[in-house]
Amino acid sequence: MRNDWGKVYTSKWFGGSLVSSKAPTCLLLKDDFTKSYFGYEAEDRYADLTSDENHHNYYFFQRFKMIIHGKSDAQHKRCYDIKGKTLEAGHVFTRYIKCLKDSMFQNVESVFPGIRDDDIEYVLTVPAIFGENSKMFLIEASVKAGIKMENLTIALEPEAASIYCQYLKFAKEDTSSPALGVVKPGTKYMVVDLGGGTADITVHKKCEDNTLEVVLVSGCPSGGKAVDDQFIQFLSELVGRDAWDNFNGMHRRISGNHKKF
């Protein structure tokens, strides 16, 4: 294997007819903890289980990352699944990280047979607004998921993106020609990370000695999920909670039956 960090490979996730480089934050977990699935596979399997009325002994969690944000101890927080059942946040995050790790290792091993887990450096990115309690919670969940502490690095998402931007190529201001060099000393730029859970902003200036002068990273829990939640709340209030819950259940059953055909 050659050390060429500039070559970045991402997984392709398949959800029905959709192909994406990102998987939804979903975890399907049997209540005896013998089976767990994540991403589109979790969504598809839960739809199948729902259509056959076999979903009652499963947890199905969605968009749970931000549950550990805040001043209170994340270890004592619980995640609510789609039916209102709860489970310790530590167990949910550990299972999800393990699913990600196992999927990643399987893909890498298919390309590099014989690779060992100790050959891999794991970088877990977190929103800028996460405090030390949230970071420690994720570290502990990662270790429980099978990642060794010495192979794990925690990185702030906007800072990781900013460092990568150091090596992106930009066009000259006086021409439309593309890609003419990396970020040069004196360049100021802003990275705005509008994610699902948070909106994070960082500003950097490239100094003459190639170090970065950083304006304090800021952010807020106002990502795309916040927009979705407000829209769902609006629809729920418009048609009534019972009608909305019935619609959701019917949609999952129809989706499950559709996949069978």
Distance CA(45)–CA(207), nearest Å, equals 51
Distance CA(204)–CA(213), nearest Å, equals 6
The closest alpha carbon to 143, from 176, 98, 100, belongs to 98
Looking at per-residue pLDDT, the higher value among 159 and 175 belongs to 159
Which pLDDT does position 109 carry in this prediction?
Answer: 92
Least confident of 58-72, 128-142, 206-220: 206-220
The topology (CATH level 3) of 13-158 is: Nucleotidyltransferase; domain 5 (3.30.420)
Domain range list for the chain: 13-158, 175-220
User: Alpha-carbon dihedral of residues 125, 126, 128, 134, nearest 10 degrees?
Assistant: -150
3-state secondary structure of 68: helix
Task: Return the percentage of the chain with pLDDT > 90, whole number.
Answer: 33
Task: Return the percentage of the chain with pLDDT > 70, whole number.
Answer: 82
Tokens representing residue 4 in the block: 């060429």
Looking at per-residue pLDDT, the higher value among 202 and 71 belongs to 202
Angle subtended by helix axes 39-51 and 241-260, to nearest 10: 100
Report the predicted TM-score, pTM, of the whole model to 2 decimal places: 0.76
CB 184 within 8 A of CB 206: yes
Condensed to tens digits (0 to 9), the pLDDT of residues 111-157 reads: 889 999 999 999 999 888 888 889 999 999 999 999 999 999 999 88
| Summary mean pLDDT of the chain | 82
Looking at per-residue pLDDT, the higher value among 231 and 225 belongs to 231
